[in-house]
Structure 1
Amino acid sequence: MHIDFPKLSQNEPTIGKGSKTKNTKFGQWVELGENNLIDNCTIGDYDYTGQYCFMQNTDLKKFISIAAMVRIGPTNHPYDRPAQHIFAYNGAAYGFEPKDDEYLANRKKIRTTIGNDVWIGHGVVIQSGLTIGDGAVIGAGAIVTHDVEPYTIVGGTPAKKIKDRFPDEIKADLQKIAWWDWSREKLEKYYLDFRLPIDEFVQKHIND
């Protein structure tokens, strides 16, 4: 939620008060809300988050809208071992050494991917290792445990398909157009086209 929209920077992320990032790469025109924790992620152009979002080992593509209190890519504990507790694999805080570097490295390799133009509602949890397709909508409070197809609206716990945003032919045309990869100049030139009915937008740009 924005009370006042900040003026964003093209080349430097706008990071809200109390937010922390580690081993994370940012695209252009990025905004993080307050009190985010972002670890080992890539964040694409024009992505923004609300407050209290936590992400790990996640690759976000472009033009992603993330509401407050969203959790993406939570890491798992080794429930097949004698102890699940962090002390058994990363216990320095408790005075236990050495840490299990192999386990920790393998856990980081489990990547979650969020496609272009995805809208993620308030309080969503997206489990690690999943792929959310371009143009998908994740309803508020959903717990996502399986991949989500492009331009699909899902919700609930666990999340299930509610409906498609568009017919299959429109979905295919939008992915062919891939407007999220347009240059800044082209986005500015056709900015008002994003207010057109979807059929008119597709008809105008399918052969660009």
Structure 2
Amino acid sequence: MHIDFVKLSKDKPTIGKSTQTKNTTFGEWVEIGSSNLIDNSTIGDYTYTGQYCFIQNSDLKKFISMAAMIRIGPTNHPYDRAAQHISFYNGGAYGFGHPDTAFLEHRKTIRTTIGNDVWIGHGVIIQAGVTVGNGAVIGSGAVVTKDVAPYTIVGGVPAKPIKDRFPDEIKTDLQKIAWWDWSREDLEKYYLDFRLPIEEFVDKHLPQ
């Protein structure tokens, strides 16, 4: 939630208080809310998060809008073993040795991908390994356990499709336009076009 809009920076992310990041790269014009934890991830241009978001082993593309208290890519415990507790696979804090590096490294390879121009509502959980397509909407409180198709609105526990944002032809055309990859100059040039009815936007910008 934005209370006071701050002037963002093209060159470095604007990061809120008490946020911690590790092994993470950021694009341009990125805003990260307060009290976030982000690890082993990439955050694309113009993406922003709300407060108390936790992101692991994930690739977030461009123009993603995230509310507060969102969890993306949570890691799993080894529930097929005799003990699930962290002390038995990464027990340094408990005075144990021999971390299970193979298990820990494997968890990092299970990537979660969030497409361009996705809107993620308050309190959403998106499980590890899921892909959310471009232009999707994830309703507040949803638990996403399966891939979400582009331009689909989903909600619930587990999340299920509610409706499509646009007809199939419009969805296909928007993917071809891929405005999220436009240069800053083109974004400024066509800025007001984003307020046009969707059919007019597509007619104007669909590659010939």
Matched ranges for 1:120-159 at <5 A: 120-159=120-159
2-side partners of 1:186 and 1:160: how far apart?
36
What corresponds to 2:170 in structure 1?
Answer: 170
Structure 1 vs Structure 2 CA RMSD:
0.6
| SS, match of residue 4 in structure 1 | coil
2-side partners of 1:77 and 1:153: how far apart?
30
Matched ranges for 1:65-144 at <5 A: 65-144=65-144
Gapped regions of structure 1 (runs ≥ 5): none
2-side partners of 1:46 and 1:148: how far apart?
21
Residue 207 of structure 1 deviates from its aligned partner by: 2.1
2-side partners of 1:152 and 1:81: how far apart?
37
What corresponds to 1:161 in structure 2?
Answer: 161
Instruction: Give the residue type in structure 2 aligned to 1:130.
Output: V
Identical counterparts, % of pairs: 76
Give the structure-1-normalised TM-score: 0.99
1-side partners of 2:19 and 2:4: how far apart?
18
What corresponds to 2:38 in structure 1?
Answer: 38
Deviation digits for residues 5-25 of structure 1 (CA, Å, limit 9, x no counterpart): 011000100000010000000
| SS, match of residue 103 in structure 1 | helix
2-side partners of 1:104 and 1:207: how far apart?
45
What corresponds to 2:27 in structure 1?
Answer: 27
What corresponds to 1:184 in structure 2?
Answer: 184
2-side partners of 1:205 and 1:106: how far apart?
42
| SS, match of residue 106 in structure 1 | helix
Gapped regions of structure 2 (runs ≥ 5): none
Q: Which runs of 4+ in 1 moved over 3 A?
A: none
2-side partners of 1:99 and 1:87: how far apart?
9
Deviation digits for residues 69-104 of structure 1 (CA, Å, limit 9, x no counterpart): 000000000000111000010000000001111110
1-side partners of 2:2 and 2:103: how far apart?
39
How many pairs were matched up? Answer: 208
2-side partners of 1:107 and 1:204: how far apart?
44
Contact 2:176 2:207 in 1 (8 A): no
2-side partners of 1:171 and 1:3: how far apart?
33
2-side partners of 1:148 and 1:69: how far apart?
20
Instruction: Give the residue type in structure 2 aligned to 1:152.
Output: T
